[in-house]
Amino acid sequence: MGMNSLTIRQIEDATSLVNFHCGIQAMDDFIHSGLNDSIRNHYCNSYSVHLGSELVAMFALSFDSLELDSDSLEEMAEGINTANKPDLSKNYVDTFLSKHHYPALEIAYLAVEEKHRTKGIGKAIVNAIADMAQRQNTAGCMFLTVEAYIEEGYSAVPFYSRCQFEPCEFKKPNKETLRLFRALYPKSE
């Protein structure tokens, strides 16, 4: 499914999501009881996604920074990690490699209505977010990041992997998420 048939609207008041259910209890609880506070306190901007008049998904975005470890940087420099190697001009490579943090846009939340999963809506939304990040002119932005949710019986990691994200950390015990990243301007090989 492409974004052509989907409409994105900014959410000013999350009570509009009262009947929205993605089927992941922790996410549904947050959307119904904590999202408004995140919007009001400028933690994120939130968006609803509609197919015609039907609400099918929601997502929220926050500015972020990505810290890459020396192994990830070395893999990028050597061309091992080509899927998420940013397209850099030759005179900027050394500057890039000397940075400690890289500007990013975080997908703070992404949830698809339970009955609409597996229809390609999530991937279309991720691609729309990448397009939004590339078109914005507020701040520099080289990567998308996400803390992919992992709980008993459900992991968002395979979904984000299919959307060209890769881990920037090892799975940590007692942490319910795995931090992933994707280059906004990947170098085409």
* Spatial contact of 28 and 22, defined as CB atoms under 8 Å apart: yes
Give yes or no for residue 34 having a pLDDT over 80. Answer: yes
Does domain 3-183 bear CATH number 3.30.70.3000? no
Task: Sketch the domain layout of the chain as residue ranges.
Answer: 3-183
Interatomic CA distance for residues 116 and 118, integer angstroms: 7
* Spatial contact of 55 and 11, defined as CB atoms under 8 Å apart: no
pLDDT in tens, 146-160: 999 887 778 899 999
64: nearest Cα among 163, 164, 168:
168
Interatomic CA distance for residues 77 and 122, integer angstroms: 31
pLDDT in tens, 59-78: 999 999 998 877 777 776 66
State the pTM of this model.
Answer: 0.88
Supply φ then ψ for residue 148, to 5 degrees: -70, 125
pLDDT the model gives residue 3: 56
